[in-house]
Amino acid sequence: MIRSAIFMPLLLLPTLVAADAPQLQNSGPIIYLSDNLDEPDMLGYCIDTQDRGQTERIQLHSCKPDTDDATGRDVLFSLNADTGRIEHQEYAGFCLTADPDAAATVFGLVTCSDAEDQKFTFDSQSGQIHPADDDTMCLTAAAESTQAGPFYSRALGLDACGAVDAALQSFTMQ
């Protein structure tokens, strides 16, 4: 009995170890997963346009280092606290939109408007980003990553808050 009382806390130790934060090389503004997860160069995963440059599809992608090349600046997003929109900083007038009824691609980059599907809230305590009209749903990174050239990517979707590993739903804004 005494022996198990001594060793039990040691078994719990790995769950108490803090997650690894990415070592960002981008001054932002960016929205990225708080945990580096499996990004091998410790760049972290940022909200990003899929493919190069301005496209309508959104994913999470290795946070690209600062660059003057517009195709490398497609990770520049910020949450506008006044409107609730997640706005692209390189492509003025374009915002993240959520389509929870979509079969595959849940998020897109479209012309900014006052539409409800473009409004989000950020919980700075949990790091969760919610559609403004549904705080039970969270932006969620896919559990698996794929290689994307010299970088890595993950799908970005909506899932019930707390339904997956918290590291897949915790974001930081810089």
Q: For residue 101, what is the domain's CATH number?
A: 2.80.10.50
**35 assigned to some structural domain:** yes
- The torsion angle over the Cα atoms of residues 47, 53, 54 and 55, rounded to 10 degrees, is -80
**159 assigned to some structural domain:** yes
Closest CA relative to residue 127, chosen from 10, 37, 34: 34
Distance CA 153, CA 55 (A): 15
Predicted structure pTM score: 0.85
Token pair of 173, please?
A: 């804004």
Site of tokens 């346009």: 49
Instruction: Give me the pLDDT at residue 67, please.
Output: 84
**60 assigned to some structural domain:** yes
Instruction: Give me the pLDDT at residue 4, please.
Output: 43
User: pLDDT (tens digit, 0 to 9) for every residue of the chain, 174 residues total?
Assistant: 444 444 444 333 333 334 699 999 999 999 999 999 999 999 999 999 886 655 678 999 999 999 887 677 889 999 999 999 999 999 899 999 987 666 556 899 999 999 999 999 999 999 999 999 999 999 999 999 999 989 999 999 999 999 999 999 999 999
Domains in the chain, number: 1
Instruction: Print the domain residue range for 161.
Output: 19-173
**86 assigned to some structural domain:** yes
Instruction: Give me the pLDDT at residue 54, please.
Output: 59
**74 assigned to some structural domain:** yes
Instruction: Give me the pLDDT at residue 87, please.
Output: 97
CA distances from 84 to 30, 94, 118, 163 (A): 15, 13, 7, 24
**55 assigned to some structural domain:** yes
**12 assigned to some structural domain:** no
**8 assigned to some structural domain:** no
